[in-house]
Structure 1
Amino acid sequence: MQTNLADFIKNTREGEEADAILRKCVHCGFCTATCPTYQLLGDELDGPRGRIYLMKQVLEGKPATQKTQTHLDRCLTCRNCESTCPSGVQYGRLVDIGRKIVEDQVPRPLSQRLMRNALKEALPRKWLFTPAMKAGQMVRPLLPKALRNKVPAKQNAGVWPTTQHARKMLLLDGCVQPAMAPNINAATARVLDAFGVQLLVAPKAGCCGAIRYHLNDHDGGLNDMRNNIDAWWPLVEAGAEAIVMTASGCGATVKDYGHLLAHDDKYAAKAKRISDLTRDLSEILPAFEEELQQKLNGKIGKRVAFHPPCTLQHGQQIRGKVEQLLRTAGVDVQLCADSHLCCGSAGTYSVLQPEMAYQLRDNKLANLQATKPDMIVSANIGCQTHLQSGTDMQVSHWIELIDSALAVGR
């Protein structure tokens, strides 16, 4: 694709990156075949190829419009198109750049500004979000359905192991997960403890930065990333061998710290080191696969439907690892039809674009339940909460299944 960037973006870091991405696109249209919003709406401008044209026009100097913003807002940033693209177009990075430019050019209605500001200010701050979630859980039966969908039932996290081990890894506690599903991280700590690994949580680490960054507050998102690097760095220097991610959305972002902070002289080297150390939980446990099989041989007699989050299979390009681990543990794991498609959660998308988010959720649940499972498991808190809002069937993180089976032998 030929480009002619406008002066306002030419010769800037973002401009050079966007230009390189645009030039890779050959207009083939393979991406539209796997784009969830294109499949729902059938509009070229609601698929990756159309959105690329819109962003190209803006980058070349054509003023953005509210229509441009609407089509970009409808994008889930699931990055399924990246997995499909034969030319390696990094659409996710392009849409981050394009959305920020459009945001700066097109004033939003007051209602949108208030909603987006509330999300980016409340969700990343645990001291705000946790008490709000606890209050919501106390009155959950009285809440309107739309709000109740975002407030999972209160969960007991169980005991965090206190055994000291020579092997130590860091865990990103996260911003919303500890309040919404505290058992996920506690279960991870218990499972790794069973294999001789101690999980450490840096008290001052917080949101991975994705919430603010993807709501076009790039400066706020980058500051969240710097905060985590500062919190983790002493433990990294002390020998922590990995940074474990139990939410694939956070993992996809932290693995990108090195790129996102490459321009920051103070943080560039540290950010790259943090990204290099970051592992999804499904990348950690295969090292203990033989022990896992011995401990759990025949203990889990369940048929499970696994929903691989987009941030795992497309963002991090991790496929098959969770399924293999569960099969090693004796679980009958099923992938549903169209397992590559987004469930509609997509971070704050289900709040900002509820109609399409719920359509995608219902389509996903129909396919998952068609496999006739005993339960549904995933690898990201957003997906779990979104899917659970549409079914009475249990939806859990896959590590909780392993933890509950290991508990039988404790």
Structure 2
Amino acid sequence: MQTTLSDAAKRLARAEEAESILRTCVHCGFCNATCPTYQLLGDELDGPRGRIYLIKQVLEGHPASAKTQLHLDRCLSCRNCETTCPSGVDYHNLLDIGRAVVDQAVPRPPLQRALRRGLRSLASHPQAFKRLVQLGRSIESLLPAPLKAKLPRSVPPAQLRPQPRHARRVLLLEGCVQPSLSPNTNAATARVLDRLGISVTPAPLAGCCGAVDYHLDAQASGLERARRNIDAWWPAIEAGAEAIVQTASGCGAFVKEYATLLQGDAQYAGKARRVSELARDLVEVIGAEPLEPLACHSGLVLAVHCPCTLQHAQKLGGSVEALLSRLGFTLSNVPDGHLCCGSAGTYSLTQPALARQLRDNRLDALESGQPDLIVTANIGCQTHLDGAGRTPVRHWIELLDEALAKSPTLA
């Protein structure tokens, strides 16, 4: 696509990147066929091709408007379009560039600004988020249905983690909301890894991956969180940690992009590149181990929801299904597995109506095989899907941990 950036756009730090991405797009429209919001709304400007055109206009000097901002806000950043695109358009990075320019030009209404500030603040203060969840559960009967749906139906307590005892060590990104919404997920991860001869090295100074800030009008803050995490992990990396494990695929997708996002930072570029090289989704780590001696005991039929950040961002679609099948679990067939559930980070809070439609459509597909349980690999998807009050949704590692409870210890 031919484009001529305005003088103002040429001064952007990522001007060359934006122009290169725009020139890659041939405007074929294949992306619209798999775009969840285009399928729901049928508006060209609510599909990737239309959004690319809007960003192109803004970067060429046309004024941005609230309407431009709305169409960009409605994008889930699911990256389904990237999987579909025959030209390899780096859509999500163009969207990040475009959103930053539009958000600077178009002030948001006060309620939107307050919501986004609040979400960013909670992500950076896990203890405050935990207290808010506890308060919500104590007055759950008084809450309106939309807020009640955001609370977990049950919060099983985190079971004990084994003490580090193996020569093989990994770091574990604890996450900002997962410890409150699903506290046993990371504990189950530590237990399963321990059975495989891998210990988790604590990194208490690591916090939110930065994705919430970065995608809610605060890109500089998101990058600063990335730098803090790099600093927190670096001593363990130098001591030989073999991976940085993420149990939330949304966090994993962002950590794997630290290298790209900080490539212009002379102080952190090299370290960011190393961190991205070490970043592994949990399914990558466990899937690479010799699991055949393990004996799983589970009579449940599982439906797997593969998060967009796992299949479209990290290109690990089908990996959870393959691992669970390899371990002897029974999986139901799930149609349209490429489609988004509507969680998309904070999307279910900033675009609740669209998110509910996408959630209900996804649940219809997941439940079509009559599973006993739905499993996923991302806390946002887990909470969003489970909030419908239908088939229970859990992280797959908890099911594996339970199924291995009677298996012999490997190490």
Q: What TM-score range do you get, normalising by the shorter chain?
A: over 0.9
Q: What is aligned with 1:305?
A: 303
> 106-115 vs 42-51, which deviates more?
106-115
CA distance in 2, matches of 1:12, 1:381: 34
8 Å contact kept, 1:156–1:182: yes
Gaps of 5+ in 1: none
CA distance in 2 between partners of 1:83 and 1:334 (Å)? 24
Amino acid at match of 1:234: P
1:164, 1:107 → 2: CA distance?
53
Equivalent in the alignment of 2:191: 190
CA deviation digits over 1:316-351, x for unaligned, max 9? 111221111101111112341111000000000000
Distance in 1 separating the partners of 2:197 and 2:53 = 52
Q: CA deviation at 1:391?
A: 3.1
Q: Secondary structure at the match of 1:272?
A: helix
Counterpart code for 2:133: M
Q: CA deviation at 1:163?
A: 4.6
Measured in 2, the distance between the counterparts of 1:70 and 1:385 equals 25
Q: Residue 173 of structure 1 contacts residue 201 of structure 1 at CA under 8 Å; is this kept in 2?
A: no
The CA deviation at 1:301 is 2.2
1:41 CA drift (Å): 0.3
Matched, 1:367 2:365: yes
TM alignment of 1:211-250, pairs within 5 A: 211-250=212-251
Q: Deviations over 1:158-192 (max 9, x none)?
A: 11111511000000001111111011100000000
CA 1:386–1:43 in structure 2 vs 1: closer, same or farther (change >3 Å)? same
Match of 1:409 in 2: 407
Q: Aligned match of 2:393 in 395, 405, 410? A: 395
Alignment pair present for 1:35 and 2:35: yes
The Cα shift of 1:65 comes to 0.5
Tell me the TM-score normalized by structure 2.
Answer: 0.97
TM-score (norm 1): 0.97
Task: Provide Cα deviations, 1:122-180, integer angstroms capped at 9, x if missing partner.
Answer: 22221321222222233334322211111113221111111511000000001111111
Gaps of 5+ in 2: none
Deviation at 1:201, TM superposition (A): 2.5
- The one-letter amino acid paired with 2:256 is K
Query: Which one-letter code corresponds to 1:363 in the other structure?
Result: N
Aligned 8 A contact 1:172 1:201 in 2 = no
**Bigger mean CA offset, 130-139 vs 386-395:** 130-139
In the alignment, the residues of structure 1 paired with residue 107 and residue 199 of structure 2 have an alpha-carbon distance, to the nearest angstrom, of 48
Report the CA distance between 1:11 and its aligned residue: 5.0
1:4 is paired with a residue of what secondary structure?
coil
Corresponding residue of 1:116? 116
Cα separation, 2, equivalents of 1:391 and 1:408: 31
Write the mapping of 1:123-272 to structure 2, written as runs, cut at 5 A.
123-152=123-152, 153-272=154-273
In the aligned structure 2, how far is the partner of 1:133 from the partner of 1:227?
26
Distance 1:165 1:139 in 2: 44
Is the CA contact (8 Å cut-off) linking 1:164 and 1:198 kept in structure 2?
yes
Q: C-alpha separation between the residues in 2 aligned to 1:117 and 1:11? A: 28
- Number of residues of Structure 1 aligned to a counterpart in Structure 2: 407
How large is the RMSD of aligned CA atoms in angstroms?
Answer: 1.2
Once the two structures are TM-superposed, the CA of residue 300 in structure 1 deviates from its matched residue by: 2.0
Quote the offset at 1:268 in angstroms. 0.6
Conserved in 1, the CA contact under 8 Å of 2:375 and 2:393?
yes
Residue of structure 2 in register with 1:18 after alignment: 18
Q: Secondary structure at the match of 1:83?
A: helix
- Give the residue type in structure 1 aligned to 2:23: R
2:346 corresponding residue in structure 1: 348
